[in-house]
Amino acid sequence: MMDAVTEPGDPHTDGDPTLADDVDACCRLTGTFTLRSGQQADEYFDKYLFESRPALLARVVAQLERLVPPDTELLGGLELGGVPLATMLSARTGIPALFVRKKAKQYGTCKLAEGPPVDGRRVTLVEDVITTGGAVRDAASALRDAGAVVDVVICAIDRSPPGGRPLTGAGLEVRAVLTKADLDRAREQASPESSSLPPT
């Protein structure tokens, strides 16, 4: 299988030249924030904000759609942020969705992946943001153990460092709509007119 290679999309060539500007303007917050590491930061990227705005979510999913491999049989949305993306993408493409938990529930069906059977089927993972790739790696491993074929993960944003390949060795090709570099560039070039988002 392939090592991880980030293949960023280019919304500028697909009729949505302000997507990076709008996602960055929506999600990049300033203030005082405590990070998971315990460190303090004056800036924070809240990925859930673009997913909670229907029009912006639809624009991101429109770009995700062209990254879906043609032989995909199931779209595996990762808990939590990958679920709305996979749901909307499934509605657009007609490909059934699968919802992959971080850990199997301890009651009822006790499933890790909710939805159709995965054994022998090609699953394309769907994630909102990839930084270290830990959740993607775990999901791919668990689905492969269940018999699925998992070679590709598509994501809205690849926030791994430039040149970084957090999923190297996991046998996954990474395809992203936007990269950290796209968002940083949007921030550097930001002006009051650069975002087309209506006020919330």
Give the 3-state secondary structure of residue 68. Answer: coil
Residue whose C-alpha is closest to residue 130's, from 194, 180, 94, 75: 180
CA–CA dist 113, 111 (Å, integer): 5
Query: Where do the domains of the chain lie?
Result: 6-16+61-188
The position carrying tokens 């229907």 is: 54
C-alpha to C-alpha distance for 62 and 32, rounded to whole angstroms: 33
- The Cα 128–Cα 26 span in angstroms is 15
Nearest to 99 by CA among 71, 80, 73: 80
The correct CATH number of 6-16+61-188 out of 3.40.228.10, 3.30.420.40, 3.40.30.10, 3.40.50.2020 is 3.40.50.2020
CB contact at 8 A, 77 and 100: yes
Write out pLDDT tens, residues 69-114. Answer: 999 999 999 999 999 999 999 999 999 999 999 888 888 787 889 9
Q: How confident is the model at residue 3 (pLDDT cuts 50, 70, 90)?
A: very low
